[in-house]
């Protein structure tokens, strides 16, 4: 195992199970700022749609102003979003940072976390909007009054926030916080 790149990859892979287990148990604490920002945005920008927000562990529940049913039997619609889906890159970032063994680990982890939070918020909010405006029953979705263009934008942001950002943002944050490490790997790589 002479190649520093191979050694780095193997160490990062060894850290992954540890960081995923830690992430699973620490997620309710680590995702609290995400939930608070989601609640702030929902209450200020979506006040006509969101009546309240509740958080239990890593699940955020949006209590809407939308009604389900007919007449006096109308029930309030609530939407649960699993925040873990949008935070899947957190343990990957931590595993890569630990494998790099660079100084100022806590600073690096803080920077990575700060970079990932806004994108997690975007993903959670897009998931909520997708649920009420697109996948809900026509009776519920029609109450949102979203135009076709708005629904297309919601679908785009949902897919982008669920499929691309949870993986790309942590990887980009890691590359940006470990440029010197990557440069050393490049210069110590064996020539072909």
pLDDT in tens, the chain (192 residues): 578 888 999 999 999 999 999 999 999 999 999 999 999 999 999 888 999 999 999 999 999 988 876 655 567 889 999 999 999 999 999 999 999 999 999 999 999 999 999 999 999 999 999 999 999 888 888 888 899 999 999 999 999 999 999 999 999 999 999 999 998 888 876 555
Cα dihedral value 49, 51, 54, 59, nearest 10: -10
Instruction: Strand 50-56: give its sheet, edge to edge.
Output: 50-56, 59-68, 75-82
CA nearest to 39, candidates 51, 30, 21, 22: 51
Positions of E strands within the chain: 50-56, 59-68, 75-82
């Amino acid at each position: 195992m002479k190649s520093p790149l191979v050694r780095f990859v193997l160490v990062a892979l060894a850290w992954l199970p540890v960081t995923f287990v830690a992430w699973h148990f620490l997620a309710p604490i680590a995702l609290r700022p995400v939930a608070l920002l989601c609640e702030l945005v929902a209450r200020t920008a979506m006040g006509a749609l969101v009546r309240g927000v509740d958080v239990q562990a890593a699940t955020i529940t949006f209590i809407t102003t939308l009604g389900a049913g007919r007449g006096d039997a109308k029930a309030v619609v609530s939407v649960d979003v699993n925040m873990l889906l949008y935070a899947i890159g957190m343990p990957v970032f931590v595993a890569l940072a630990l494998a790099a063994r660079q100084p100022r680990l806590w600073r690096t982890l803080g920077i990575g976390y700060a970079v990932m939070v806004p994108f997690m918020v975007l993903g959670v909010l897009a998931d909520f909007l997708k649920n009420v405006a697109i996948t809900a029953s026509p009776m519920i979705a029609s109450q949102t009054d979203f135009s076709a263009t708005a629904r297309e934008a919601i679908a785009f942001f949902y897919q982008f926030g669920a499929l691309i950002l949870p993986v790309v943002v942590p990887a980009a944050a890691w590359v940006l916080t470990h440029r010197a490490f990557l440069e050393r790997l490049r210069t110590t790589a064996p020539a072909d």
